[in-house]
Amino acid sequence: MSKYITSIPLGDIDRVQIYINSSKLPLRQIVAQEAPDLAITGNFWLYGSYQPACPIKADGKVLATDAYHYPALIWDTGPDISMGIVPPGGACGKANYIANSAGLYQGKPETMYCKPDVRGRRGRTGWGFCGGALAFIAFPDGSDGMEPEELRDYVQGLGWSDCIMGDGGRKVNYYNRATGDMVQGRDPSQNLILVYKRKGHSSKPDDSDKEDKPMDDITQAIMTNSDCYKAGRTIIPKGIMVHSTATPGADAQTIRSAWDRSGAEAAVHYIIDDQRTLQTLPDTCRAWHCGGAANNTHLSLEICEPQECRLIPAEWIALKRGSSGWAVQRLQMELQARGYDPKGVDGSFGPGCDAALRACQKDLGLTADGSCGPATLAKLASRQGSYLAYNPQDTAAYFAAVWGRAVALCVQLCKTYGLTAADILCHSEGYAKGIASNHADVMHWWPYHSKTMDMLRAAVDKALGAQEPDYRAQVQARFGLAEETMDYLEAYRYGADLLQKLAAAN
């Protein structure tokens, strides 16, 4: 199911803006002009008059009202945004609000009253709250669309407490600067929600000359609804296992929300993206992260992958008629670059894209079946500058950020539990040792950025300062000696060393 899900902690937000697109600009132009960190289609609007159809107030000016009470996002400036009710006439007292049909309100499912013209399985957008963060979801147009109630039930399963259904159906517009995702609907949105992050919370350029330095900005977000957490089983940490999510484009909060529920089959101690490090289980909790014996011994951390990882062969999912989303848009761009007209670069795999792909496959000597599977991907990605080839330069800033966070977290955990860099391994290394299931992470991805697990261990070792092993603690633990005995032995060793030095001096 093609979808884009993200969330932004309120503390990371500088301001939220309602953009009224009276000039009917395409999303790409709006993003270029306004430079937001995130943009998404807002509430319903009237197709003929190009005016908003549900209550909306931007910059203190009421632009549309209704005779009914409407659930809405309401705010004055930026991170003070909340969920509330706009009464008939729009007398709210806040400078901004944007309303539509609610799916969830204060944790309770709402009956989705929608006119017939907005029903059906179609592209959808939605916005609300999840775990103290402003959350957004977009399902592009195509067969992956949803009925309103399906959207409501889906986000409730992700742990959202509130959800307002935005506009959709030809008008699904979505942009995320951090991941590079852009879904441009066939029609421009009449109004959009634009989010701007505080300075210091945007992607930073790669600075590979700087040393990896420990960070202490770990946010605790324990998954108390997880069956893993509720099981109450504990471990004594003896190692660290590094994973990557294999869910391109999903950030840490999104993964955490998806796993913080009954029935979720995965649970880890930490989740990292380029913006934050979340602790999602207590260190002593036995996590479900590797499908093997290392669950009983290892702390686990998941590294979120950027949307571009969708192009890595190990993660490729075949595209065919009815597919939609970012990867389809890249396929259309590649076909167009090769001289085959997909009849639009809109992220929707329709008859034009199907015909163009079949013609291209035939010319490349492939089976002309209209499905872009692994073999077709390999051929299309082989062109210099191909839109279907994973280009590490596109995600260099993202990778540098998650690499730095992974090193910093491993350093902190090593210090806390007396571990060394040698106690760190990834999922694929765990499989080779027979203590984890057969997964490729993280070595299906990191070599594209010229990084290996040995390099991670070396960075951790360097940050730890290549400290001399604590022989006192090792001897004391090995032989069960008391502190008084250890003090005596250390004093004896010091005295013996001193006598030896005096003798050598004379």
Which helix (H) or strand (E) segment holds residue 196: the answer is strand 191-197
Question: Are 140 and 288 members of one domain?
Answer: no
Question: Are 183 and 39 members of one domain?
Answer: yes
Question: Are 271 and 398 members of one domain?
Answer: yes
Which CATH number does the domain housing residue 222 bear? Answer: 3.40.80.10
**Backbone conformation region of residue 73, classed left if phi is above 0, alpha if psi is from -120 to 50, else beta:** beta
**Is the pLDDT score of 423 beyond 60?**
yes
204 occurs within a structural domain: no
Buried b / exposed e along 417-455 (16+ C-beta atoms within 10 A): eebebebbbbbbbbbeeebbeebbbbbbbbeebebebee
Alpha-carbon span 217 to 235, nearest angstrom = 24
pTM: 0.54
What integer pLDDT is reported at residue 353 of this predicted model? 96
Specify the higher pLDDT residue, 490 or 117: 490
**Is the pLDDT score of 211 beyond 50?**
no
Question: Are 381 and 405 members of one domain?
Answer: no
Question: Are 115 and 226 members of one domain?
Answer: no
Question: Are 88 and 181 members of one domain?
Answer: yes
DSSP letter for each residue of 303-340: E---GGGGGSGGG---B-TT-BSHHHHHHHHHHHHTT-
212 occurs within a structural domain: no
pLDDT in tens, 245-275: 999 989 998 999 899 999 999 999 999 999 8
Considering the chain, what is the average pLDDT of its residues?
Answer: 85
Question: Are 28 and 140 members of one domain?
Answer: yes
368 occurs within a structural domain: yes
Question: Are 249 and 398 members of one domain?
Answer: yes
Structural domain containing residue 146 = 4-197
Question: Are 235 and 338 members of one domain?
Answer: no
Which CATH number does the domain housing residue 353 bear? Answer: 1.10.101.10
65 occurs within a structural domain: yes
Q: Pick the last residue of a domain from 356, 389, 422.
A: 389
Q: How many domains does the chain have?
A: 4
Proportion of the chain above pLDDT 90, given as a percent = 49
pLDDT band at 45 (very low <50, low <70, confident <90, very high): confident
Question: Are 457 and 480 members of one domain?
Answer: no
86 occurs within a structural domain: yes
124 occurs within a structural domain: yes
Question: Are 303 and 329 members of one domain?
Answer: no
Q: What letter would DSSP give residue 187? A: S
Question: Are 252 and 317 members of one domain?
Answer: no
**Is the pLDDT score of 288 beyond 70?**
yes
